[in-house]
A and B are shown apart, each in its own frame.
Chain A
Amino acid sequence: MGIRLSQIAKTYGRPGTPRALEPIDLEIASGELVGLLGPSGSGKTTLLRIIAGLEQPDRAPAGTLHFGSRDVTEVHVRDRRIGFVFQHYALFKHMTVFDNVAFGLTVQPRSQRPSSGEIRARVHQLLEMVQLERFAKRYPAELSGGQQQRVSLARALALRPEVLLLDEPFGALDAKVRQDLRRWLRHLHDELNFTSVFVTHDQEEALELSDRVVVMSNGRIEQIDAPARLYRAPANRFVFEFLGDVNRLEGEVRDGVLTCGEARLAVELPEGPQELLLRPHELSLDAAPGAAAHLPMTVTAVVPVGAEVRLELAADWLAEPWLATIGHGDFERLDVKRGQRLYALPQRWHRFGAEGQPAAKPSLA
Chain B
Amino acid sequence: MKHLIDPTDLSLAEIDEILALAEEIIKDRPRFAEVCKGKKLATLFFEPSTRTRLSFEAAMLELGGSVLGFSSADSSSAAKGESVADTARTVEKYADIIAMRHPKEGAPLVASMHVHIPVINAGDGGHNHPTQTLTDLLTIQQTKHRLNNLTVGFCGDLKFGRTVHSLIKQLSLYDNIKFVLISPEELQVPDYIKEEVLIQKNIPFVEVQQMEDVIHDLDILYMTRVQRERFFNEADYIRLKDSYILDLNKLENAREDLKILHPLPRVNEIATEVDDDPRAVYFDQAEYGKFVRMALIMKLLGLDANA
Q: Do A and B come from one complex?
A: no
